[in-house]
Amino acid sequence: MIKAKVLIVDDDQALLDSVVFMLKRAGYEVSAAASGIEALQLIENDFYDTIISDIKMPGISGLELIEAIKLAGVEIPVILMTAFVEVRTTIEAIRKNAFDFIIKPYEPQDLISAVEKAVRFNHLVNMEKNYKINLESMVEQRTKELSDALADNTILLKEVHHRVRNNLQIISSLLSLQSETITDKNVLSILITSQQRIRSIALIYEKLHQSTEMSKLDFAEYIEELSSEILHFYSVFNRCKVKLELNIGVNMLDVDIAVTCALVISELVSNSIRHAFAIGHNGTIWISFNKNAEDQLELIVADNGIGLPDDMDTKRHTSLGITLVHDLITRKLKGSLEIDRTNGTAFKMLFHIP
């Protein structure tokens, strides 16, 4: 038997004393109230595992007591006692969620058994309530820990992106300094191209450092900035006016795919500006990056320049730039590359996101 605190409510003093004596002998801690109002005052200042109340009492009846306890926000199983069995009263007791219903006169063991069941029920309810509170506390604590860990990882990843970007920028600056001492045009062209490739990757880590999304890049914004930068960079040397037209329908990309696509676009746009347009010649470069009907990513870089040399075998990819683009698309991204020389040059690349 679970030892607990019981409140007895009855306006019949003789019956009240009898029940108190009976339950104390059974090992319970018992309090007594001669009215519903007195019972509410006791409940307000103390905790009870169950309440035994007579139904018919002056002032506040047993049924009204149940209602008052609920309004006070207290959850205690209430056992009702009555000497008058009425269908209407029984239904009302059930409707108000009385825990049990005892008919006077009763056997002492019946009353003690009802109290034991009510106490066990109350303990189970409190255990469940405490379990929920503890579980919510654990979930809240774990959520905070994960949130703090995520914040720490975000800060760490931002620092990594920042350092990678700075290191790439240093390499780019070193190549720039080295190019000032080079007089050979071919070597100078190689250095400038390498510098731009590095700058393309550095720009990705610069964008990631500024972004709240650490593993993905806003590729539409990045391509617009990258292509404009390449255009400005090479126009100083070629003195040509080239217009860019962008159609970027793919927004967020994983960093690995973004780096690969950035190198491809940087290579093709650079080649177009350097080779497709004669000095002072005007033209247009188109960059399109969207999903097609087969859910493939379709990247197209095209220009309306002079086109590839007639003696160039596009299938063998003898040019370093085209070889680099071919390897990045077919090996890195497991995609395909087609070159259209009908009007200028168009590179069409298809691949799936891994």
Q: What is the largest CA-CA distance in the chain?
A: 119
The more confidently predicted of residues 286 and 73 is: 286
Quick one: pLDDT band at residue 349, thresholds 50, 70, 90? very high
Quick one: pLDDT band at residue 72, thresholds 50, 70, 90? confident
- Amino acid 177 reads L
Say what the pLDDT of residue 335 is: 92
**In the chain, % of residues over pLDDT 90:** 16
- Which residues make Cβ contacts (< 8 Å) with residue 38, sequence separation at least 6? 9
For residue range 127-154, list pLDDT tens digits in order. Answer: 888 888 888 888 888 888 877 776 666 6
Please, are residues 79 and 53 in contact by the beta-carbon 8 Å criterion? yes
Say what the pLDDT of residue 347 is: 93
Q: Which of 118-122, 160-164, 235-239, 270-274 has the lowest mean pLDDT?
A: 235-239
Please, are residues 309 and 324 in contact by the beta-carbon 8 Å criterion? no
* The pLDDT of residue 312 is above 80: no
The listed range with the strongest mean pLDDT (80-94, 170-184, 221-235, 259-273) is 259-273
Mean pLDDT calculated for residue range 282-300: 89
Mean pLDDT calculated for residue range 230-237: 70
For residue range 98-120, list pLDDT tens digits in order. Answer: 888 888 888 888 888 989 998 88
Closest C-alpha among 264, 278, 186, 279 to residue 227: 264
Q: What is the pTM of this model?
A: 0.53
